[in-house]
Amino acid sequence: MDTEERLRDILQRLQKDGHRMTPQRVAILRAFLSAQDHPTVEQVYRRVCRDFPMTSLATVYKTVALLKEMGEVIEISGDLQGSRYDAFHPEPHPHLICTRCGQIYDGEGVDVQPVVAALQAQSAFQVSTYRLDLYGVCAACQAQSG
Amino acid sequence: MDTEERLRDILQRLQKDGHRMTPQRVAILRAFLSAQDHPTVEQVYRRVCRDFPMTSLATVYKTVALLKEMGEVIEISGDLQGSRYDAFHPEPHPHLICTRCGQIYDGEGVDVQPVVAALQAQSAFQVSTYRLDLYGVCAACQAQSG
DNA sequence: TTATTTACGGATAATGATTATCAATAAGAG
DNA sequence: CTCTTATTGATAATCATTATCCGTAAATAA
Ligand SMILES: [Mn+2]
Ligand SMILES: [Mn+2]
Ligand SMILES: [Zn+2]
Ligand SMILES: [Zn+2]
């Protein structure tokens, strides 16, 4: 399922809930769904403004709230200033956050579920989601300054 | 190493850095170090005020900043309002956050290091710390409302 | 197409946790 | 005791996010 297909699906589900399809909403959704760099709301705002200068930051906030309700985005809130979002991979997965340059990478190829399941079993919690963030220095930043 | 022993150690290290030992600082440090319920800054402030009414919220913020620099506290910042702190177990460990009552429990008995190590190896990151938070409903909240 | 309804967009004010500021005070060294 | 200056407490400032409100435009049906 590629971005445009997901976009149509999401718009259809929104419409079913009495929501409307506006040019701003489509542009903002497309920006979120296609972003692979975990942008902030502000960054998505600036991207949308490039092709659609008449856009409000408030509308971007309203749109990300919609995506949250629909489970089509995950939020990365750490010691960064401003939350970061991943609507490209909306299922929980590990993130590697570079404390030097601020870049956020997806952690791939490692199955976290067993650990989550073990913690759930040990705690009698009914776990609905999780967040695993590793903080450190990325390869690029290591190369340029030890 | 119990709380009072850690307190003395921390005060000694602070003194070595040109810091001073004030009654407020000691009271706030003691409150942080002995708290096992992941309190907010506000909660620590209220606890200290019980025995030491002449205390400022700003001083609690300054003290938690000191603890952060020293690596003697970990911060849990999520979708909660206000960060939560664990200065009782300052090494990284999983947390179980109840979205119903807001209580935060320590995840125990599960080794997270292998997963962290695997992610570090796969990513060429130099990982310095991590955060693993599970969100869900605690046993108590499940019991009282399905 | 046109009329009607009302969700939406944009601008901006409000919120709230955290941080910065600063004058008065007191800890610690000599 | 005296002096230096880190610290305190009160409060202002910051800043990401949320709430508010009115004019606009998307949907729906006549
Ligand atoms: Mn991601
Ligand atoms: Mn803990
Ligand atoms: Zn980096
Ligand atoms: Zn609960």
B5 min Cα distance to partner chain A (Å):
30
C-alpha to C-alpha distance for A97 and A77, rounded to whole angstroms: 11
Please tell me the predicted confidence (pLDDT) of residue B78: 84
Q: Could you report the per-residue pLDDT of B22-43, keeping only the tens digit for each? A: 999 999 999 999 999 999 999 9
CATH class, A3-86 region: mainly alpha
pTM of the model: 0.94
Q: Which two tokens stand for residue B46?
A: 């209220």
Amino acid at B81: Q
> Across the interface, do A134 and B124 touch by the CB < 8 Å criterion?
no
Q: What is the dihedral of CA B92, B94, B98, B104, to 10 degrees?
A: -40
Q: Which two tokens stand for residue A114?
A: 């067993």
**What is the share, in percent, of chain B residues with pLDDT greater than 90?**
93
Chain B positions touching A108 (Cβ under 8 A) are 122
Question: Where is A120: in which H helix or E strand?
Answer: helix A113-123
Chain A positions touching B101 (Cβ under 8 A) are none
Q: Do domains A3-86 and A94-145 have the same CATH topology?
A: no
Bridge partner residues of A129 (DSSP)? B135
In chain A, where are the structural domains located?
Answer: 3-86, 94-145
Answer yes or no: is B54 CB < 7 A from strand D: yes
* Residue among B84, B83, B87, B61 nearest B72 (CA): B87
What is the dotted CATH code of the domain comprising A94-145?
Answer: 3.30.1490.190
Average pLDDT over residues B42-51: 96
pLDDT value at A146 more than 80: no
Spacing of B99 CA from D20 C1' in Å: 28
C-alpha to C-alpha distance for A40 and A80, rounded to whole angstroms: 10
Average pLDDT over residues A126-137: 97
Answer yes or no: is A82 CB < 7 A from strand D: yes
Answer yes or no: is A41 CB < 7 A from strand D: yes
Helix, strand, coil tally for chain A in percent (to 5) = 45, 20, 35
C-alpha to C-alpha distance for A113 and A93, rounded to whole angstroms: 10
- Which residue's alpha carbon is at the shortest distance from the C1' of D9? B56
Chain A positions touching B134 (Cβ under 8 A) are 116, 119-120, 123, 125, 127, 129-130
C-alpha to C-alpha distance for B104 and B116, rounded to whole angstroms: 22
